[in-house]
Chains A and B, each alone.
Chain A
Amino acid sequence: MLEQRIVVSNRLGLHARAAAKLSHLLGGFRAHATLAFGKRSVNAKSILGLMTLAAPLGSELVLTLDGKDELEALAATVDLFARRFDEGE
């Protein structure tokens, strides 16, 4: 199991299109994925779950991955956040 702190760095935060990209990305891995913001923890493969985090720019999230491909899933997720979900800002 892996746990990684990730900061939301795109201007719009974890909004609908970003949540769609993240859930789609993680859906391609077998590892279980949860994302926590404050006291709330959700299935990170669920768009609606991610939306309920309502995480704005600057939020500190904790990603937990558990499964054989957790390392690959982590690298891909960190990359997606670092690319600001390809939103350019």
Chain B
Amino acid sequence: MSTGVLLLAHGPLADAMLATARAVLGTLPLESCALGLTLGETSEQFARRAAQAARSLERGDGVLVLTDLYGATPANVYDRLRNEGVSLRRVSGLSLPMLLRVYNYAELPLDELSRTAAAGGRNGVIEGDA
């Protein structure tokens, strides 16, 4: 599978998350792109950048969109990406466990990758010791 991974978040968060995953894993098994909503940028401007990134990540297996906060602009622009002719799934609540799990299961098709991302996020929250 060559699913694309598009990280959409506030400020430098998406960039930092991707850079950290790269530092942990060495090379990323899926083509990935991080976009941060900057202060003063309109949602239309951000949506255009996100749409362009989604198109460039599409290799026929779709693009997994990971966003930091459900209901916030980086997550909300997802609705405007759906007219781009790209197969998409969105998972919100971006975290390092979620992202590492996505790359750990890079061979899964988009549907399953989306589910495994959500499970990674949920299971990455551990109170006290595991």
Residue numbers of A with Cβ under 8 A of B are 16-17, 20, 23-24, 27, 40, 45-48, 51-54
Contact = CB atoms under 8 A, between A and B. Distances in A.
Interface residues of B, number: 14
Interface string B25-47: 11000000000000000000000
Interface of B: 23-26, 97, 100-101, 104, 120, 123-124, 126, 129-130
Given A17-B24, A20-B24, A48 B101 contact: yes
Given A16-B24, A20-B24, A23-B104, A48 B130 contact: no
Contacts of B130: 40, 52-54
Main secondary structure of the interface of B (DSSP, over half): helix
A17 B123 CA distance: 19
Contacts of B100: 16, 20, 47-48
